[in-house]
Structure 1
Amino acid sequence: MSVTIAMANQKGGVGKTTSTIEFATILTKLGKRVLAIDLDQQCNLTKNAEADRTAPTIFDLFSRDDVDMAQAIQTVDAGYSIIAGSPEMSKADKIFDDPTAVYLLDDLIDALSEDYDYFLIDNAPARNIPLNMSYIAADYFIMCADSGEDSLDGIDAIVSDMMKYHKSNKRSLSDAKILGILITRFRQTNIGNAVLDIINEKLDTDVPDVLKPEERPFIMTVRETAAVDEAKMVHKPLELYKKSSTASMDYRRIVDEIVRRIEE
């Protein structure tokens, strides 16, 4: 069975796109069939993966009936497949205002479920219709954070919204669980350790049991290193650009944990 993992936080710049790219690359190297979906109107996943911007986009698939899904799915140099994002997703809240529109992503993934082992969704840092689509389509959420207060508030917002879909109209529209929380650009400092303590407390006190998988959500870190920014500049996954870097080693460790939890 395929598994859908959504990356999310209401705050931008916390590593959602970088993490999506690294997860997709490493999972592909492990022999998994991976499709990454760019739901962010900024299209950073599409850009950094060097996907073809002229191919049909996720917006095209959602808004038009005459788009061939096979033409929208492309394989990038890192080996995984991707459906490109579109700046037109900025109109999503106006265009996809029908109540049934929140099922568009779930329907798309269901149609492709036999072709892929992992679907990775890169969400925009916003409370919008595409994120609502992810609440319904995803099996798991991984939330990225840094040491800033805003990113911790963003985790609270995601938890609050997930609960609405678990309890909507007294019936669950979502079975999504919080697989883990990823702290990017981590430094072993007093502030970094304080953030770890805060997130541990949040998991124990602020995250309802219905959002937790059988095993407690993981809290894992990606150490700060210049190699991450260097890899972005040349539009390469860190795993292929500098796999000896501490951050790359951290991402491999995290992917091992994801696979262990999902596949064992």
Structure 2
Amino acid sequence: MAITIALANQKGGVGKTTSTVEIAAVLTKLEKKVLTIDFDQQCNLTKNAEADRNLPTIFEVFKEEGVDLNKAIQKVPAGYDLIAGSPSMSRADKEFEDVQDAYLLADLIEAVGPDYDYILIDTAPARNKLLNMSYLAADYFIMCVDSGEDSIDGIDAITTDMMKFHKPGKRQLSESKIMGVIVTRFRDTNIGKAVIEIINDKIDNEIPSDIKTENKPFIMTVREAAAVDESKMMHKPVQQYKKSSTPAIDYRNIVDEIISRTEQED
């Protein structure tokens, strides 16, 4: 069964989609079978991966009867599989009102999980039912932050929500754990070092053990470099566009850590 990882933060623009693309690209190069799910109504993962927009989207899979899940799964040029996002997911809170709808993503992953080694969920930067579905579907969460105060506060928001879904006796029970934090666009400055210290303190003192991996969640950085923005414009992972760049190297190190931890958990 696949290991499912959600990339999350309730603030936008902190590198969730970039991290999803790069982690998927590295895992694919390591001959892992990877499925990515664009769970953001902005559909940045779908656009970045140059997915076929004529195939069924995640919204259609969830809402329309008779949609073949297998037809919604497509292989993108970078080599991994993807289920495309849809702007209609912006209506999630109104469209998915039934109690059982909370398990739509978990049910999908259960259906396709045997075919993959890793499933990556690119979550929306919002506190909504889609994020709640992710809490119930993912094995692990990796939070993406930058040096902004709002993105660091996003760690607290995710922590609070995860704890709600971990309460004993709660009908919608989650077993997801925080695996780590990726600091994107990192600069080795006093501010950069302060951000690492703040996150480290949160992990040690503010995140309950119930929602942390047994090994302390990692804090890893992706150094700022023009190659990331350039690769986005080319619709390629930086692993393909400029594999010798510092961000490409950093993401390879992150994937090594992910694989090491998931193998230990197994």
2:104 corresponds to which letter in structure 1? Answer: L
What is the aligned partner in structure 1 of residue 36 from structure 2?
36
Question: How far apart are the structure 2 equivalents of 1:93 and 1:186?
Answer: 34
What is the aligned partner in structure 2 of residue 78 from structure 1?
78
What is the aligned partner in structure 2 of residue 91 from structure 1?
91
Alignment of 1:59-74 (within 5 A): 59-74=59-74
What is the aligned partner in structure 2 of residue 14 from structure 1?
14
2:153 equivalent to 1:153: yes
1:130 corresponds to which letter in structure 2? Answer: L
1:170–1:134 Cα change, 3 Å? closer
What is the aligned partner in structure 1 of residue 52 from structure 2?
52
Q: Indicate the SS of the match to 2:115.
A: coil
Q: Indicate the SS of the match to 1:141.
A: strand
What is the aligned partner in structure 2 of residue 218 from structure 1?
218
Question: How far apart are the structure 1 equivalents of 2:198 and 2:5?
Answer: 24
Alignment of 1:1-264 (within 5 A): 1-167=1-167, 169-170=169-170, 173-264=173-264
4+ residue stretches of structure 1 with deviation over 6 A? none
Residues 56-109 of structure 1, C-alpha deviations (whole Å, 9 max, x = no match):
000001101210111100000111000000000011110101111010000000
Question: How far apart are the structure 2 equivalents of 1:229 and 1:111?
Answer: 35
Residues 97-133 of structure 1, C-alpha deviations (whole Å, 9 max, x = no match):
1111010000000001110110000001000111100
Residues 121-180 of structure 1, C-alpha deviations (whole Å, 9 max, x = no match):
000100011110000000000000000000011111000000000016546710000000
1:214 Cα deviation (Å)? 1.2
Question: How far apart are the structure 2 equivalents of 1:49 and 1:168?
Answer: 39
Residues 230-252 of structure 1, C-alpha deviations (whole Å, 9 max, x = no match):
00111100000000000000000
Question: How far apart are the structure 1 equivalents of 2:82 and 2:207?
Answer: 31
Q: Indicate the SS of the match to 2:216.
A: coil
Q: TM-score, normalised by structure 2?
A: 0.98
1:177 corresponds to which letter in structure 2? Answer: K
1:42 Cα deviation (Å)? 0.2
Q: Indicate the SS of the match to 2:114.
A: coil
1:58–1:168 Cα change, 3 Å? farther
- CA-atom RMSD, angstroms? 1.0
Q: Indicate the SS of the match to 2:74.
A: strand
1:92 corresponds to which letter in structure 2? Answer: A
Question: How far apart are the structure 2 equivalents of 1:138 and 1:117?
Answer: 14
Q: Which runs of 5+ in 2 are unaligned?
A: none
Compare 159-168 and 83-92 and name the one that shifted more: 159-168
Q: Indicate the SS of the match to 1:114.
A: helix
Q: TM-score, normalised by structure 1?
A: 0.98
Q: Which runs of 5+ in 1 are unaligned?
A: none
1:86–1:258 Cα change, 3 Å? same
1:200 corresponds to which letter in structure 2? Answer: N
1:248 corresponds to which letter in structure 2? Answer: A
Question: How far apart are the structure 2 equivalents of 1:168 and 1:54?
Answer: 43
Identity among equivalent positions (%) equals 67
Q: Indicate the SS of the match to 1:20.
A: helix
Q: Indicate the SS of the match to 1:10.
A: coil
1:92–1:172 Cα change, 3 Å? closer
